[in-house]
Copies of this chain bind each other. A is one copy, B any other.
Amino acid sequence: MSQRKVSGDAGRATIRDVAERAGVSVASVSRVLSGNYPVSEDLRRRVMKVVRDLDYVTNAHARSLAGGGTPTVAILINNITGAAFAHVAKGVEGAATLRGWLSLVGTTGDDPERELALVNLMRQQGVAAVVLLGGAYDYDEYQLRMARFARSLDAAGSHLVLVGRPPLEGDVPATTVDYDNEGGAYAMASHLLSAGHRRVLVLPGHAELTTAQGRLKGARRAFDAYGVPFEPDMVRHGPYDYEHGYEAVEEALAEGMEFTAVLAGTDVVAAGAMQALRAAGLRVPEDVSIVGYDDIPLASQLTPQLTTVHVPYEEMGRVALRAVADRREGGTGRRKGGDGDHLVLGTHVVVRNSVRPPTARRD
């Protein structure tokens, strides 16, 4: 009384349906489709016809269970809206597609709980790698948390890749793809200093964010190199967003702070700062110079176009994927977490129109 399978097409067609209808065995259908076993031309034709008729596609889950399956990379991102990280995602996506890999984007919304949940989810999916994007908050707990992620993924045959944040300490099974954050900041600050600026409002970002720390450090090094005193009072921390840039400049102006340039931690922050200066009747770059960081499209779309630090986001994505693919292919001789696991890409200053030498020195 229990018909296992109605002949109608309830649900999707299986390989068995195809086999039956073509009058061949399941094994043969599988072989025709994967194409890694000799089959006669006749059989191939018969099978392919039925496949087309039924519009059959193999079940990825079953395939993956049985050993086959497409490798998948998961990209975990704080905020899909951020332009910079969208470019990393694009790089990963592109490189993945090129190899026939699948990629998958998840957003954490800056919530550690959700980050944990997503990493576990990816572990369940058996992804080849989890790519974690964006600067990290340098809390004490962070290192432990990430180390646990790394080991946990490693044990499950997966791998953790950190993009745009500093490498983990100790012998942790993770790969890091980074850029010369501090160097970029150093070069950017030098550009300002060599133009003659001495009083610079610095908006590096959140104090606990690793990228902000690096950018601040690079800037400070430049000041030291130029023998210009670095006044802590002229550093304002805050989130990497437009509002922060606007408000920080607004407040600095209200306090009567004197500055001839703004060194923003991000192009978006720079945009906010620029707007606030204009609102106060100041011209950019005639009265105040501004520089950003990241070189997202916005930078060249502002008026004036923003001088900024170019970060090769898309390439970082490609490199991250390549690192994973290489490691997966060179399965034997799995090198222990040595130097090969930390890749650093270069940055450089892009000079546009937002910097001029200071006109009137007022201090």
Contacts and interface: CB of A to CB of B under 8 A. Distances in A.
Given A61-B61, A157-B11, A303-B274, A90 B97 contact: no
A284 to B, nearest CB: 9
Contacts of A69: 61
Nearest to A127: B60
B126 A60 contact: yes
A89 B302 CA distance: 26
A121 interface: yes
A12 B242 contact: no
A301 interface: yes
Contact of A152 (B55, B125, B152, B297): B55
Count of identical protomers in the assembly: 2
Given A61-B61, A105-B105, A157-B12, A86 B97 contact: no
Contacts of A65: 59, 61-62, 65
A275 B303 contact: yes
Given A60-B126, A152-B55, A93 B81 contact: no
A268 B300 CA distance: 12
A272 interface: yes
A69 to B, nearest CB: 8
A45 interface: no
A83 interface: yes
Interface string A259-295: 0000000001001101100100000000000000000
A30 interface: no
Contacts of A125: 60-61
Interface string A105-144: 1110000001000001101111000000000000000000
A95 B40 CA distance: 49
Nearest to A63: B124
A300 B57 CA distance: 46
A80 interface: yes
Contacts of A301: 242, 268, 271-272, 275, 298
Interface string A48-62: 000000010111111
A228 interface: no
Contact of A156 (B57, B268, B275): B57
A236 to B, nearest CB: 19
A46 interface: no
Interface string A74-101: 0000001101001101100100010000
A70 to B, nearest CB: 8
A275 B306 CA distance: 13
10 contacts: A11-B157, A55-B152, A57-B120, A60-B61, A70-B121, A80-B90, A81-B86, A81-B90, A278-B303, A298-B298
